Structures are given as structure tokens and as C-alpha cells.
Chain A
Amino acid sequence: MALYLKKNNKFKEFFQLLFGHPMGFAGLAIILIFLGMALFAPHLGTQDPAKSGAVENLLIPPTSQFWFGTDDLARDIWSQIIYGSRISLTIGFVAALITVFSGTLVGLVSGYYGKMVDEVLMRIVDFFMMLPELPLMIVLAAVLGPSMWNIIMVVSLVSWPTTARVVRSQVLSLKERPFVESARCIGASNLQLMFSEILPNVVPLMFAQAVLMVTEAIYAEAVLSFLGLGDPTSISWGMMLNHVFESGVIAESYWWVAPPIVCIVGLIVSFSLLGTAVSDILEPGYKEKRGF
């Protein structure tokens, strides 16, 4: 249980376990590749992904000059894929951060105080849970203009309630545990009980939720962009799919369709693998089974 990224030796142990877990290793490896792509984008044989090329370079299949070929504006697809990873990862991580932070806070307060507080907060959660993602995005795009931050906002807005619910149900059981009662019995205040007694016990759950939210956000970005609700000036994998669909050459240009799909699926799968591995490792007794 007590495997947190807190103490150095625990930290080391956690990663040793993660590397020892086949799924964890695979997931982590793929994510690191994508992270590398995003971080070192300018150094990976790329050119400006938004720059249109010469007419003779329109829609050519992969060559030694254009590794993944070009699109209908003669833009380099390899560069678009590389730079597109920045958008997907940013949206994934930022949305997950916002979602898990706010969801945990609401779930913690709601579960701990119970009664009226719980009732009110859960009704608010219900409201946001029921928000229709697509119409909301369309409206926001119309009002605020399409941008990456709108996608992050919409994804966070509709997905924090899930975390809040999950954390709340965990807190409901944790707050009845003897150690919480003991701490209260020797004078711990509500704030202390919530944040230093209960919260550390929710951390594994937060990790699992964060991983889940990253995949959800990446997926949502792809869908929204594909439907034309993303920022048309930015290059993302979903946007590429949108372009290829609208260009009308989707049936002929496999080199244009395949890379963004492979990347979206690859990134989502890698996070799922990581999520499974992390929840395996945090399972009590796993450490002992692996001989730690």
C-alpha cells in the first residue's frame, strides 16, 4: 500500500517495479518516445509543419526527402506528426491535472463532510456529468473561437465529476477507518484529517484517475478536432484527420491517414498499459510477490 513517490527509496522501488512489469515497461517506453518527439521536435529532421510546399510536391507518397509523404498543400506529414504530439500531450497532461486536482478536492470535501455538503456537491457533480461534450464544444468554439485551451476546458469540465465520484466513495470508507477516528480522538482538526490523514490514502486512486484522464483527453481532442471543432491553425493529429477527410483523397493517400491514427491509438494504448501496471503495483502484496 505504502508505495508513494515520496521518499527516495520508495520512488526507486516504484520504478523498479514498474520496469519489471511488462505492460508498465512497454507503456512507459512508448510514452517516453512520444515525449521525446514533443520535446525535440525541431531536431528530428522536421520542417515547419504549417508551411505549404511547391506544387510538384503535392500529395506524394513517402520518399527520402518526405519520410511520410506530403498532404494536399505539400506540407511534410512527418513534421506534422512530430509537432502534433505536442498538442496531444499538452492537452492530455493539462486536462488530467485540472481534472484530478479539482475532482479530488470536491470528492474529498464531499465525502468527508457528508450530509448537506455532500448532497449539494454531488448535485453539482451530476450537473457537470450530464453536460453534453460536443454541443458544449460547438457553443464554446462559436463564442470563444476554437483553440487548444477550449478543448482542455471542455474536457476538464465534463470529466472532473468522474474523479470526484470515485474519490468521494473512497473517502466515505476511509473516514470510518480506525486511524481517522484515533486522530480525531486526540484532537486533529477537520482540515488535518482531510488533507494529512485521508488524502495520502487516496493518492494511488489519483494516479489511476490521472492516467485514465490523460487517455480520455487525448481521445477527446482527436474527436473534437476531427469534427472540425479544434483550432484550425494548429497542427494536431485530430486536425490532420480532419484535413485528410475534407480533402477528399482519403481513399488514395494511406500515408496521410495512417500515421495520425497509429499515433493516437499508440499513445492511448500506452497510457492504458501504464495505468494497468500502476494499479497492479499499488495492489497490496504485489511487492512481496516480486520479491521486494
Chain B
Amino acid sequence: MAPRQNKNLIEVKDLKVYFMTRSGPAKAVDNVAFSIKKNQTLGLIGESGCGKTTTAMAVMRFVKPPGKIISGSIRYMGDDIVPMTAEQMRQIRGKEISIVRQEAQNALNPVLTIGKQITEMIREHESISKEEALYRARKQLDLVGISDKRIKSFPHEFSGGMKQRVMVAIATACNPKFLILDEPTTGLDVIVQRQILMMLRKLKKELDLTAVFISHDLSVVAETCDRVAVMYAGKILEESDTISLYSNPLHPYSKALIGAYPSLKGELKELKSIPGAPPSLIDPPLGCRFAPRCELAEDICRKREPAVNIINGRKVACHMVK
């Protein structure tokens, strides 16, 4: 294959996902754009309900009613997947683009052995023999650090962290090029979190993966991602490389978010919470969506939506950042 090293594997443009509620469309994802280069990992952070998971689901073309992709394009290796048919999408899901969903604890079928669940996944996408699939399943388990002796175990015989690993093993069984990790460490204790993160890092190298990492845990994102996008109320407010974002957040919301998180190395300082609550997505504020909670907000913020500025390769959507 021709070198695509600098090509974008995923390019999302002007993505709008609305949930049609009785009181009007809730703009869960509104004009979101991002792109990910091959072998890069993009972190997606933000408060609960800001549209992280909805964005991920839209990339899988798995938005369930009343949700709907209103407009925008999602290009995977140059092809827009938004207009694709259900059957085309089914073949892409798991084989090209895969996902480790939230709540992995319940995402395994309680009555099937994990070996069966992995082989079924492989055989759905590739026409290979049972023996071959079983061999691949063992390799997958080995890859995520579970002894292949456990291939005949049922999900209830595993701990939470192991179930999470099994989910990763299933999601990557067909060697997808693009993997979405939706809060893969949420609900696990820090030691297991660390194990999962180490495993993901190894996996990324071995499988040559490009990934989106969704989390509300800033430290986890810092550890795994090359770039980070900060989402708020359905919009990406800032996108930047990880180091610059953490050391010098530009957008007031990024600042507030990082200020609300304790630092291990830095001096002891009082943690600041962000006053107020995220706005209604059905009737969002006219201008900048963060304006009602922003300390720096001026009149223009409440009236006009800020355009995205590019400063030193970082994207920021704020009137106050020049």
C-alpha cells in the first residue's frame, strides 16, 4: 500500500446528530469536525452528556432513534460512510471500524463462553474454519493478557477488568484499522485501569491501530492520547496536542476543566468547580454555548457563535482567545 502516513484515516466534517424529542430536536452533536491521522489517538473529553458517546456512535453509524444524523460527512479512508446502506455498514463495523462500548461489564453474552463469542465475531466477518477461528481467538486472548486456558470460561467467571479485556479482544478480533474506546476504564479501580491502559498501548503498537479514546478522566486521556478534543454541549471547543492542552489550555472551558482536576506533580491548590450546569441542548444559548458559565464572557459571546481559530496548530472556538 502507498504510504498514507500523513493522510487522515478518519475525517469528520460538520457532523450534526439531533435527537428528535417531543419538545424539539436536542442538538446532541452540533457541527462537530475532527480528523485523525493514521496511528494517532484522539482523546475526547468533556462532562457527562456533552455528546462524546453520541459522536462515537455516529462514527459507527449506530445512532438509534429518536437520534438521527442530520448532516455532515464521516470519511473513513476517503469514503463517506454516512450514505452507506445498512449491509455495507454491517460489514464495516467490527472489520474496519470497531468499538469497545461503555458498560463492558454487561456487554458479554452471559450464556456463551468467551471463546465462542470471539470466534463468532471472526466468522461473521471472515469465511474461515472453526479451528482457524479458535486459533485466532486464543491469539486475541493472549494479546489482551488473558490465558488461553480461559477460552471455555463464561463471562461470570471473570472480574470486571478481565471482562473489559475480553471486550477489547472481541472488538479487535478482525484487525480493525480504527478503534473507538468509549470510557474503557470507567468503573475500574486504578490498578486495573493501569493494566488496561498498558494493554491498550501494547495493542495499539501491535495492531497498528488508530483510535478515539473517550473519557471524562483527564489523567487517563493524558496518558494515552496524542491529541485531545474538548467537547461541551455538543460542540468541540478546543482541539490540541495533549501536552500543550494540559500545560496551557486556551479555551476558558478547558482551563476550568483542567483546573477542576487535581494534579499529581504540581503544587497543592484548591480545586475549582465550574459554577452552573450545562445548557439545554434543545434550546442552547444563542452565542457561545459556554458563555452562561464563563468568567470571561462578554456581550459578543452571548450574541455570536465563535468561529474556530487555528493558533499554532491548535483549534480554539472562543471570542476571547486571539
Q: Which residues of B contact A1 (CB under 8 A)?
A: 110-111, 156
Q: Does B219 contact A (CB under 8 A)?
A: no
The answer to whether the Cβ of B106 comes within 8 Å of any Cβ in the partner chain is: yes
Question: Could you give, for residues 174-207 of chain A, a 1 whenever the CB lies within 8 Å of some chain B CB and a 0 otherwise?
Answer: 0001110111111111001000110011010000
Please provide the chain B residues from 146 to 186 with a CB less than 8 Å away from any CB of chain A in the complex: 152, 154, 156, 167, 170-171
Q: In the assembly, what is the distance between CA of A99 and CA of B99, in Å? A: 40
Stretch in B24-32, B38-46, B119-127 touching the partner: B119-127
Q: Could you mark each residue 1-19 of chain A with 1 if its beta carbon is under 8 Å from any beta carbon of chain B, else 0?
A: 1101001000000000000
- A185-B93, A185-B99, A189-B124 known; A200+B107 contact, CB < 8 A: no
Write the chain A residue with the least CB distance to B109.
Answer: A179
CA distance A74 to B106 in the complex (A): 67
Chain B residues with CB under 8 Å of A188's CB are 94, 120-121, 124
Contact of A192 with B106 at beta-carbon distance under 8 Å, contacts A1-B156, A186-B99 already known: no
Question: Would A178 and B111 be within 8 Å (CB), given that A186-B170, A187-B93 are in contact?
Answer: no
Q: How far is the CA of A184 from the CA of B89 in the complex (A)?
A: 11
Kindly provide the distance from the CB of A207 to the nearest chain B CB, expressed in whole angstroms. 13
Q: Which residues of A contact B90 (CB under 8 A)?
A: 187, 189
Contact A192 B109 (CB under 8 A): no
Please, which residues of chain B bring their CB within 8 A of the CB of A177? 106
Distance in angstroms from B157 CB to nearest chain A CB is 9
CB closest chain-B residue, reference A3: B111
Interchain CA distance A178-B100 in the complex, whole Å: 12
Asked if A192 and B124 make an inter-chain contact with CB atoms under 8 angstroms apart, the answer reads yes
Shortest CB-to-CB span from B69 to chain A, Å, is: 16
Beta-carbon contact of B112 and A200 below 8 Å: yes
Shortest C-beta distance, B59 to chain A (Å), equals: 11
Report whether A185 and B124 are in contact in the complex, using a CB–CB cutoff of 8 Å.
no
B91 touches A178 (CB 8 A): no
Cβ of B197 within 8 Å of any chain A Cβ, yes or no, is no
Could you say which residues of chain A place their CB within 8 Å of the CB of B125?
A: 187
Contact A186 B110 (CB under 8 A): no
Instruction: Please determine whether A178 and B93 come into contact, CB atoms closer than 8 angstroms.
Output: no
Query: B81-101 CB contact bits vs A (8 Å, 1 = yes)?
Result: 000000000111111001101
Instruction: Tell me the complex Cα distance, A257–B14, Å.
Output: 83
Residues of B contacting A183 with CB < 8 Å? 109, 121
Residues of B within 8 A of A182 (CB): 101, 107-108, 167
Q: How far is the CA of A7 from the CA of B154 in the complex (A)?
A: 11
- List chain A residues, Cβ under 8 A from B92: 187
- Which of B91, B95, B101, B156 is close to A185, meaning CB atoms less than 8 Å apart? B101
Chain A residues with Cβ below 8 Å from B98 are 186
Distance between A174 CB and nearest chain B CB, rounded to angstroms: 10
With a CB–CB cut-off of 8 A, which chain A residues contact B121?
183, 186-188
- B246 interface contact, C-beta 8 A: no
Chain B residues, CB < 8 A from A178: 101, 103, 106-107
Residue of A nearest to B92 (CB): A187
- Chain B nearest CB: distance from A272 CB in Å? 26
B288 to chain A: which residues have CB within 8 Å?
A: none
Q: A177-B106, A179-B107, A203-B111 are in contact. Are A187 and B124 (CB under 8 A)?
A: yes
State A203–B109 Cα separation when bound (angstroms): 14
Shortest CB-to-CB span from A275 to chain B, Å, is 20
Measured CA separation A124–B179 after assembly (Å): 44
B34 within 8 A of A: no
- In whole angstroms, how far apart are the Cα atoms of A183 and B122 in the complex? 12
Q: Residue-by-residue, is B50-62 near A (CB-CB < 8 Å gives 1, otherwise 0)?
A: 0000000000101
- A191's nearest neighbour on chain B, judged by CB, is B124
Decide: A187 near B94, CB < 8 A? Known: A177-B106, A178-B103, A201-B111. yes
Give A residues with C-beta under 8 Å from B: 1-2, 4, 7, 177-179, 181-189, 192, 196-197, 200-201, 203
Q: Assuming A1-B156, A187-B125, what are 20 further A-B pairs, CB within 8 angstroms?
A: A2-B111, A2-B154, A178-B106, A179-B106, A182-B107, A182-B108, A183-B121, A185-B62, A185-B93, A185-B99, A186-B93, A186-B171, A187-B91, A189-B124, A192-B120, A196-B112, A197-B109, A200-B111, A201-B109, A201-B111
28 contacts between A and B (CB under 8 A): A1-B110, A2-B111, A4-B111, A7-B113, A177-B106, A178-B106, A178-B107, A179-B107, A179-B109, A182-B101, A182-B107, A185-B60, A185-B62, A185-B101, A186-B99, A186-B121, A186-B170, A187-B93, A187-B95, A187-B124, A187-B125, A188-B94, A188-B124, A197-B112, A200-B109, A200-B112, A201-B109, A201-B111
4 smallest CB-CB distances across A and B, nearest first, come from A187-B94, A186-B94, A187-B93, A182-B107
